[in-house]
Structure 1
Amino acid sequence: MSVITELRVAPDEFELGRLMNLSDHTTVVLERMVPLGQTPVPFFRVRDADRDTFEGTLQRHPSVETLTRLHRQDGETLYALEWIASRDRFFSAMTETGAQLVSATGTPDSWTFELRFPSHEALSRFHEYCEEADIPITVDRIYSPTTPGMGPWFGLTPEQRTTLVSAVRGGYYDIPRRMSTQDLADEFGISDQAITERLRRGIASLVEHTLLPTDTVEE
């Protein structure tokens, strides 16, 4: 049975966190990791960054081979990054244990990862790998993906469930929209960026645990 863990790691504890060297108020969201030969290519969105400084920092780093700006809209820039991932022992631990990246969000203070492992044994090996590499991680949650009809929340955290329910009831998804992102942010006392990320991750969890059960549950 596969298992999902949510964990946090400091930016200076792994290569990707160090090379991005995020400044104040900058947020990075990894969209996905696409294999290119033996190198995983991250696609990621960056918000509230000094674009020239951010791009210059990455392009000068010895682990970075190519940084490609793909799209910019509403203050966010989408990039593709080709880098020498073998230098990053955290991502090497993911590769060695068969972990799949579900989501990841980075700030100047911390990175939050949601990783799916093929088994509890693989997750244990990942923890051992991080300990041997002296990479401190903080595990916030471990759970098994559910199939439809198993469990009431289908992998949602309480915060994600409450936010999604409020968004639907308040008309956030109506056309025309009757509630804005800022309205939701004010209701929960957090930033509009945090609300957007919570909704995005909540919807991703619902899809993975209801529409894709065969991909998350092994016999």
Structure 2
Amino acid sequence: MVPLGGKPTPFVRIRNDARETFERSVSDHPSVNEIQLVDTHDDETLYALDWEPSDASLLRRILDLDAVLLGATGTTDSWGLELRFPTHEALSAFQDHYVEEDIGVTVERIYNPTKPDAGPWYGLTPPQRETLADAVSAGYYSLPRQISTQELADSFDISDQAVTERLRRGISTLVRNTLLVEEPEE
């Protein structure tokens, strides 16, 4: 899904010579205004759809909950969706809606990309956050390096060692609260 002109535009990739069947069935669907061929490569064809999803559609429910459709894979029997919800309450509302409508929905995995208690700044202290942000902005992590730790230290009126410790602790905290987060037990 790509938001274009204020409305989501679905892009669909078709494989295994299903192009004609897809074009025919999508063109006949009442919510599709136009199907546009975007690209073909080997045995894959990419389409963009101009459509108006109905109020009862899955996409409308996703949009109403401020969720984002990250990916979808479908067959004639089922769909697998990867969705990002802004809150756990929105995810629950999504699932509850389909349970009430007697439509089978299974949540296979819930993933939180950060440690839940890390807060909006991933556990960084304000000085660590400010020092890391300034270091990146000033080119400390660029190749070649555009600012030294001493120059960073001077801008904060602290020692070179204090800047180095803030950077090390900040990076360690970021990694612990993002990359090293354990996946929840299923």
Higher strand share: 1
Aligned twin of 1:23: none
**Is the CA contact 1:145–1:155 (under 8 Å) kept in the aligned structure 2?**
no
CA shift at 1:88, angstroms? Answer: 4.6
CA shift at 1:123, angstroms? Answer: 1.0
Aligned twin of 1:110: 78
Q: Which one has a bigger Cα radius of gyration?
A: 2
**Is the CA contact 1:68–1:79 (under 8 Å) kept in the aligned structure 2?**
yes
d(CA) in 1 for partners of 2:56 and 2:175?
A: 37
2:175 maps to which of 130, 141, 148: 148
d(CA) in 1 for partners of 2:8 and 2:84?
A: 16
Is there any run of 5+ residues in structure 2 with no aligned partner, and where? 115-173
d(CA) in 1 for partners of 2:77 and 2:44?
A: 20
d(CA) in 1 for partners of 2:65 and 2:34?
A: 26
CA shift at 1:64, angstroms? Answer: 1.1
The 5 A counterparts of 1:19-168 are 32-37=1-6, 39-146=7-114, 148-150=175-177
Aligned twin of 1:168: none
**Is the CA contact 2:70–2:84 (under 8 Å) kept in the aligned structure 1?**
yes
Q: Secondary structure of the residue that 1:143 maps to in structure 2?
A: coil
Q: Secondary structure of the residue that 2:110 maps to in structure 1?
A: strand
Ranges of 4+ aligned residues in structure 1 off by more than 6 Å: 153-156
Task: Give the share of equivalent positions with the same residue, in percent.
Answer: 43
CA shift at 1:133, angstroms? Answer: 3.3
d(CA) in 2 for partners of 1:134 and 1:36?
A: 34
Worse-superposed segment, 85-94 or 59-68: 85-94
Q: Secondary structure of the residue that 1:140 maps to in structure 2?
A: coil
- Structure 1 residues 145 and 120, CA gap change in structure 2 (3 angstroms): same
Larger RCO (alpha carbons 8 Å, 6+ apart): 1
CA shift at 1:151, angstroms? Answer: 6.3
Structure 2 counterpart of 1:40, one-letter code = P
CA RMSD of aligned residues (A): 2.5
Aligned twin of 2:121: none
Structure 2 counterpart of 1:117, one-letter code = F
Q: Which TM-score applies when normalising by structure 1?
A: 0.50
Q: Which TM-score applies when normalising by structure 2?
A: 0.58
Number of paired residues?
125
**Is the CA contact 1:104–1:113 (under 8 Å) kept in the aligned structure 2?**
yes
Structure 1 counterpart of 2:51, one-letter code = W
- Structure 1 residues 77 and 153, CA gap change in structure 2 (3 angstroms): farther
CA shift at 1:35, angstroms? Answer: 4.4
